[in-house]
Amino acid sequence: MDTYRLISNEALSYIEIKMSPTLYAILYKGHYKVGSTDYYGWHMVSKKGNITITNIDIFSHSNKYITSFDGSMITIMKNDEEDDFSIIINGPIVQQIRAQNIVPLVVKDVAGNELETEFDLSDLLLKEEEGFLIFKDYIIGDDGIYLEYELNNSNGDKVDIDDAIEIKRKIKGSDYFEDVDNFILPIEENREFIYIVLFDKIQYTAEVSFNGVNLLEIQKTGKIKTFQDKLYYEYAISNFNLAGITLYEFGESNNIYNIVTNNLYFEINKEGPFSYYFNQNNNWYKFLINFENEPLPAPSLKNAIFIEEQNSRRVSFEILSTGHDDVFVNKATLNIFNQGSTTPFITKTIEGNLVK
């Protein structure tokens, strides 16, 4: 398969290429009448020997036209400005064109200016080589983690892409290529790509596949810990011991944490959506938390009993768990009601001498 590309400073109206002594093609923009119908657009006339074929208004539906001729597939493309044309040829005609060194070319722009020239195929034909994309490093960005790859040639030497004319890629199995600037992708990528890197004299084709990340569910355990006078909710991932990992946090603020405990702890007043990544056993994992500022559970009474003594009664009570490591009570108020009444007839408050 060979690709020929013609780029002009002005919009074109006529292109004539003599591909071999017996084969030439003309693209022109204008009118073509069939019976009483007048077609205006781009038309193609191709001739091989004594056979002439005319294709009318080839770009009527899109800027890409595909046809077959003499056992070969020919794809013609143009841009909207009509100053950039590509002809892709796949089939036996490729060798016929390559067999001649000099290819005559005639072009006209919309103003009627004409250029008659020729180009030397020996200077244009690209050497094609298989390339290899080798993992280079992880990039910690502002919004996530990225994979960076570098291009190596078949000898294992790094290829400097600063001199590349273009880099394009497509999903394997797709027909659509997109232009890219580098080999950097988000760590979530899990597809297989084909890259084509074009230089002045050589073109590399490389395939690479990505594993993506494993998405995890994280749950709040209901426990609360105190550290340096701050309260933290405890979070856990089922069947995961997180001790020893490096945790990357992305959200309103970005942070990197070295985790030393099995579970994770986040301040109770943390708010907003955050993304987290970590690597364990050469596999990347990701989980999401949307923090909401929830009211902190207040201590409440679990049960209370009166203890009869010789000359008095004492009340003993237990505080319902709030998830805190410790709850200390330094003030308690006892209200005693008559049955059916909402107004206490005895109120007693004790401070400072309660036993945990």
- Rounded CA-CA distance 306/346 in Å is 15
Q: What is the mean pLDDT of residues 60-65?
A: 90
Does residue 310 have a pLDDT over 80?
Answer: no
**What pLDDT, in 10s, does the model give residues 1-56?**
778 888 888 999 999 988 777 778 899 999 998 888 899 999 998 887 788 888 89
User: pLDDT value at position 227?
Assistant: 84
Does residue 294 have a pLDDT over 60?
Answer: yes
Written as six digits, the tokens of 283 are: 């596999």
Q: What is the mean pLDDT of residues 110-133?
A: 83
Query: Mean pLDDT, the chain, as a whole number?
Result: 86
Query: What type of residue sits at position 177?
Result: F
Higher pLDDT, 244 or 305: 244
For domain 214-291, the question of CATH label 2.70.98 is answered with no
**What pLDDT, in 10s, does the model give residues 144-191?**
999 999 999 999 999 999 989 999 999 999 888 999 999 999 999 999
Buried b (16+ CB within 10 A) or exposed e, 148-170: ebbbbeeeeeebeeeebeebebe
Domain boundaries, given as residue ranges, for the chain? 2-125, 128-209, 214-291, 300-351
How does strand 283-291 pair with strand 313-320? Answer: unpaired
CATH architecture observed for domain 128-209: Sandwich (2.60)
Instruction: Read off the pLDDT band of 226 (50, 70, 90).
Output: confident
Does residue 333 have a pLDDT over 60?
Answer: yes
What is the model's pTM?
0.56
Q: Do domains 128-209 and 214-291 have the same CATH topology?
A: yes
